[in-house]
Amino acid sequence: MEHGNAEDGGLDVVVTTLASDSHTWNLVFLQLLLEEMGHRVTNLGACVPDALLLAECRRIVPDLIVISSVNGHGHQEGLRVIPALRACPELRRTPTVIGGKLGIAGADDPDRERTLLSAGFDAVFEEGGSVAPFREFVDGLRSRVLL
């Protein structure tokens, strides 16, 4: 499937958080990281309502959607938005990942990753140690898109 404008090797990436989450340092960090890796980022900013998230993703048709949430509601809200994203024909197979601090009781909840994956996310990156595997995931996508 052809997404965005990946011919020059860069991906079109949407970086976003979820409706209830106002934290943005995570978004600023992820944007810089992805730009340094050669990708083009649209950063949707704080407290992104579901309707805005869907509209922006349908408009941009990105190669990758990166959802970051740290306020502890990310698990609940991620489960709410992923079916809505997958219900859009143009986003049905768009690689979509979620990461951050997704619950309110710490990072070690193995069920959380499983439910998020089975709800339709392609990968889950919880907490601080998640940046290196995220880079590998994104590098993998780039080579897939280039093929």
Partner 1 sequence: MTGFGAFVAQAADAGALVVQPRMGMAEAARMRDGLLATRGAAAVTVGTITLDSYTRTGDLDAARRALALGAGLNGYPIATHPVDVTRAVLHGVADAGFPVQVRHGSAAPERIFEALLAAGLDATEGGPVSYCLPYGRTPLHEAVACWRRSCELLASIREFGAEPHLETFGGCMMGQLCPPSLLIAISVLEALFFRQHGLRSISLSYAQQTNARQDEEALAALGRIADELLADVDRHLVVYAYMGVYPRSPGGARLLLEDAARLAVRGGAARLIVKTTAEAHRIPTVAENVRALEAAAAAATAERTRPRPAAPPDTGIEAEARALIGAVLDLDADLGRALVRAFAAGYLDVPYCLHPDNAGRTRSSLGPDGRLYWSAVGSMPIAGLVEGGRPPILGSAGLLSALSHVQRRYDGRAPRPAAAPPVPRGLPAAR
Which residues of this protein are in contact with partner 1, per CB under 8 A? 19-22, 24-25, 27-29, 32-33, 36, 43, 45-48, 71-73, 76, 101, 103-107, 128-132, 135
Spatial separation of the C-alpha atoms in residues 10 and 147, rounded to whole Å: 13
Shortest Å, Cβ 131 to ligand B12: 5
Q: Are the CB atoms for 29 and 56 separated by under 8 Å? A: no
Nearer to partner 1, 110 or 129 (CB): 129
Please tell me the distance from the alpha carbon of residue 141 to that of residue 146, in angstroms, as a whole number: 8
Which position among 1, 7, 25, 110 is part of the footprint of ligand B12 (CB under 6 A)? 25
- CB of residue 15 to ligand B12, shortest distance in Å: 9
Minimum Å distance from CB 135 to ligand B12? Answer: 8
Find out whether 62 and 10 touch, Cβ atoms under 8 Å.
no
Helix-, strand-, coil-residue percentages of the chain, each rounded to 5: 50, 15, 35
